[in-house]
């Protein structure tokens, strides 16, 4: 079975500071990893994904994530946070041996304060 | 504009009533999914369909049924709604191979009273 853990319910950061939203995963095969963002009363929007290749993945809105196989982690990062980055962030994993099944973490609320 | 349409946007439903949430896509994606989103629990998969004519159970299928008569539509039916089915429901689609991302609809907020 595949699973995802987002250990922080909420992350608070000041505008202009770097941010990190943590994600760890568990799969039996090789993982496909995704980050999504959800703004209030909206659906999920895709940010970035790791499939293979470089461990550092760059995505939309200046976000990036680093795949660490030994730590089974895929933390989301941004060098300089914006107030508009405040939203709910979800990490998700798909086991390449498990077809199309996508499993989500519980979500982390990011609050960026001016 | 291509995308996923969910209807209704929101609904208040009496317990025991039958309800169908609609999901239509125009991206010709083979795979479609229904998730429910609950505070602190993230998104949990209810049912999925890898292609028209096939469906499968996800993590929390009890009390829900789906059908996939064609590529574009994937309705979710609550046969007899209960208050624990109060949630926000998201339909999603995915095309291509296993490594492509899923796309999500805007959600249906359902309150069962």
A67 contacts on B by Cβ (under 8 Å): none
Nearest by CB: A100 against B43, B48, B106? B48
Residue B44 contacts A where some CB pair is shorter than 8 Å: yes
Per-residue pLDDT of chain A (114 residues), as tens digits, is 789 999 999 999 999 999 999 999 998 888 899 999 999 888 899 999 999 888 999 999 999 999 999 999 999 999 999 999 999 999 999 876 666 678 999 999 999 999
Question: Which pLDDT score is estimated for A74?
Answer: 98
The pLDDT confidence band at residue B14, using thresholds 50, 70 and 90, is: very high
Residue A97's pLDDT is 64
Please measure the distance between the N-terminal and C-terminal CA atoms of chain A and give it in whole angstroms: 41
Residues of B in contact with A45 (CB under 8 A): 104
Answer yes or no: do A101 and B44 touch at CB < 8 A. no
Paired with A108 in beta bridges are A89
Phi-psi region of A93 (alpha: psi -120 to 50; beta: other; left: phi over 0): beta
Give the tens place of pLDDT for each residue, A42-71: 889 999 999 988 899 999 999 999 999 999
**Strand segments (E) across chain A:** 3-5, 10-14, 19-21, 24-26, 31-38, 44-50, 56-58, 64-68, 73-78, 87-95, 103-104, 108-113
Cα→Cα distances A81→A12, A27, A30, Å: 10, 31, 31
Give the pLDDT of residue A99.
Answer: 62
* Contact criterion met (CB below 8 Å) for A14 and A20: no
pLDDT of residue B95: 84
Q: Name, in order, each residue with C-beta under 8 angstroms of A51's C-beta and a sequence gap of 6 or more.
A: A32, B99
The token duo for B43 is: 């998104």
Check CB contact under 8 Å for A49 and B41.
no
Ramachandran assignment for B4, one of left (phi > 0), alpha (psi -120 to 50 degrees), beta (any other): beta
Q: Which residues of A touch B4 (CB under 8 A)?
A: 43
């Amino acid at each position: 079975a595949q699973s995802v853990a987002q250990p922080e319910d909420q992350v608070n950061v000041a505008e202009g500071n770097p941010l990190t939203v943590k994600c760890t995963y568990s799969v039996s095969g090789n993982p496909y990893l995704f980050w999504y963002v959800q703004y209030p009363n909206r659906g999920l929007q895709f940010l970035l994904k790791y499939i293979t290749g470089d461990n550092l993945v760059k995505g939309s809105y200046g976000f990036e994530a680093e795949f660490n196989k030994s730590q089974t982690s895929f933390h989301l990062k941004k060098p300089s946070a914006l107030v508009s980055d405040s939203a709910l962030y979800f990490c998700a994993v798909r086991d390449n041996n498990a077809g199309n099944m996508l499993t989500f973490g519980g979500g982390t609320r990011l609050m960026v304060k001016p | 504009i291509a995308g996923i349409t969910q209807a209704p946007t929101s609904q208040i439903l009496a317990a025991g009533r039958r309800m169908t949430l609609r999901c239509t896509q125009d991206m010709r994606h083979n795979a479609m999914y229904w998730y429910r989103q609950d505070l602190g629990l993230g998104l949990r998969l209810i049912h999925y369909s890898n292609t028209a004519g096939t469906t499968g159970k996800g993590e929390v299928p009890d009390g829900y049924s789906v059908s996939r008569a064609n590529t574009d539509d994937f309705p979710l039916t609550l046969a007899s709604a209960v208050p624990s089915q109060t949630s926000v429901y998201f339909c999603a689609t995915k095309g291509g191979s296993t490594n492509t991302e899923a796309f999500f609809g805007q959600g249906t907020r359902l309150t069962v009273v």
